[in-house]
Amino acid sequence: MGTTQLESVQEPKYWHLKTVLSEALDSDFAVGEILPNERELAARFGVARATLRQALEQLELEGRLQRRRGVGTTVAPPRVGVAVATAEHEWTGGATGEAWQPVDCSFGRPPAPVAAMLEADGDPVHVVRRIRETHGQAVAAELLYVPESSVPDLSAIDAPSGVVRARGVLREMHRLRLEGQDRSVELGSARADDAKELDRLPGAPVLVVTTRYIAVGRTAAVSVATYRADTCRLTFGDSGALEISHGEQQERRAS
């Protein structure tokens, strides 16, 4: 990895250094390789260690680096794509190696924005919590809000809460004939429970995908799914389906 002079650069030094480091990761390092320590890197680029840390933190946020306790800073591996806007929502699970897993179900009042979308007027709804895993790694956490009117045949025999109840609600949603979906994506901050399940710090940047499911001319359910923003890249295919991709499907190799 070469050196560069940053004194004449008008943009913040750490930002320019981030660009230089990013190019070096593509050309000089292999996936999983450990970077030199901060003192060596700072000396090589002629910057203060505080500036270097800012650049490394930005690269970590963008999913280019991983900081592993007891190991150091390593080059992040390539990621796999995670389809979001599929033609048919998979209520009961996904393909091999990728699936939504029900975690819990409760009955309560939704947040005001969700209640407005549901036109629930403050009425309690089923709240199903799910985790999405891809090849054993949690990539998203979801809260699915389902009014009682959407699942009228939900059996009272099912447990009143927990995973069993969640599966019952999802089973009834699977039987519901959906007519359409409205979806929005925005940047947000990880709440404490989402951060724990996604292995992030509370307040870390996340991508929030809100989906309104429509059936019989009304809102049948609302999903608020939180995806890790440090490793996710949004793309839109020709079909209009939204996909969250975790990098290119090729290895970065040392030159």
Q: What order of strands is seen across the sheet that includes strand 233-236?
A: 82-83, 242-245, 233-236
pLDDT tens for 68-121 read 667 788 887 765 556 665 544 567 654 444 578 899 999 999 999 999 999 877
Range with the poorest average pLDDT among 2-16, 110-124, 139-153 = 2-16
Buried b (16+ CB within 10 A) or exposed e, 177-214: eeeeeeeebeebebeeebbebbebeeebebbbbbbbbe
Q: Could you tell me how far CA 93 lies from the centroid of its own chain? A: 18
Cβ-Cβ contacts under 8 Å for 189 (sequence gap 6 or more): 202, 203, 204, 205, 206
Q: How far apart are the first and last CA of the chain?
A: 11
The domains found in the chain, sorted by start residue, are 13-75 (1.10.10.10), 82-245 (3.40.1410.10)
Q: What order of strands is seen across the sheet that includes strand 137-146?
A: 98-108, 125-134, 137-146, 218-228, 205-215, 180-189
Task: Return mean pLDDT, the chain.
Answer: 79
pLDDT at 251: 35
Instruction: Say what the pTM is.
Output: 0.70
- The span from the CA of 124 to the CA of 107, in Å, is 6
pLDDT-derived band at 178 (thresholds 50, 70, 90) equals confident
pLDDT-derived band at 7 (thresholds 50, 70, 90) equals low
pLDDT-derived band at 253 (thresholds 50, 70, 90) equals very low
